Structure 1
């Protein structure tokens, strides 16, 4: 059996912000009725995190639960635990109209950090990334130069972005160009 490897092998770039691939991350797409108490209980048991509201991400240690759409959550768990968590969720939700799928190896996570992190992503995404409009704990699904992505702020100067593994190299290069020294705009 081969060992899993990350999409970009921990690539990093330093400019007006640091752009770095985060490595292996367990990711589970959970579709279902988000108002269902059984689904909320299964999510809490699997992650330790509660149900997020619209455009929120809730952390519990190494785990997180992100609202992705009115019937979809993204669960972040350690990579090695993703398959077991899918089995746990599927068992807990059997008989419910819900589906849990391990998407860990189909996605990549890139961190953009530093005082200009919001500016780097703001150059590529049509989102108000000011600290007041986009505080830590918020998540957005959008496009970066026409590539699907979602991102959240860990704090004022650090954001993580999830994209498809197939576009990870392109997204990394987009972010690196947006982070080139001397490219500050000073919006955020």
Structure 2
């Protein structure tokens, strides 16, 4: 039997905290509370276990081990208590998938209209997988795709279908 183009697995132990604030005003406080430098536009910063991703001009997403989410949420809320800001644990609203292997990019290219091939190593891209809103960033050996938990089964099916043996893109 032919081998799949990529290994698809759901990640169940991630915590995710959405941060909405004036990043110019509150950036230093966010960076200190999150323990990571603020990322540039369309980028992520990481320490290996935590990722801080730029989602829009006033929005960041902190991705970390789920066991650390409550403490990080409290630290961010405290750091931003004097700012007009929203800090929200969205862990239960999101589903995350690993797409690993040499052809991981090909799997995503079949589903996403974005030019993921030109995404920098520390890039984060908001796009769609088929018709489902998602965010994608690189990790060693592949990518992570996040989307709404309400469409997790749909996303899993899309990814698994795009990774089927023999479904590689036509090289022409």
TM-score w.r.t. length of structure 1: 0.85
> Could you say what secondary structure the match of 1:123 adopts?
helix
- Find the counterpart in structure 1 of residue 126 from structure 2: 141
Q: Distance in 2 between matches of 1:24 and 1:42?
A: 26
Q: Distance in 2 between matches of 1:128 and 1:168?
A: 23
Matched positions, count: 169
Residue segments in structure 1 that go unaligned for 5+ positions in a row:
1-13
Q: Distance in 1 between matches of 2:121 and 2:153?
A: 26
90-99 or 39-48, larger mean C-alpha shift: 39-48
Task: Report if aligned partners of 1:30, 1:73 keep a CA contact under 8 Å in 2.
Answer: yes
> Could you say what secondary structure the match of 2:88 adopts?
strand
68-77 or 80-89, larger mean C-alpha shift: 80-89
Q: How big is the shift at 1:186?
A: 5.4
Q: Distance in 1 between matches of 2:29 and 2:92?
A: 23
Q: Distance in 2 between matches of 1:88 and 1:119?
A: 39
- Find the counterpart in structure 1 of residue 158 from structure 2: 174
1:160 aligns with 2:144: yes
TM-score w.r.t. length of structure 2: 0.93
Cα RMSD after superposing both structures:
1.4
Q: How big is the shift at 1:61?
A: 2.9
- Structure 1 residues 43 and 95 mapped into 2: Cα distance closer, same or farther (>3 Å)? closer
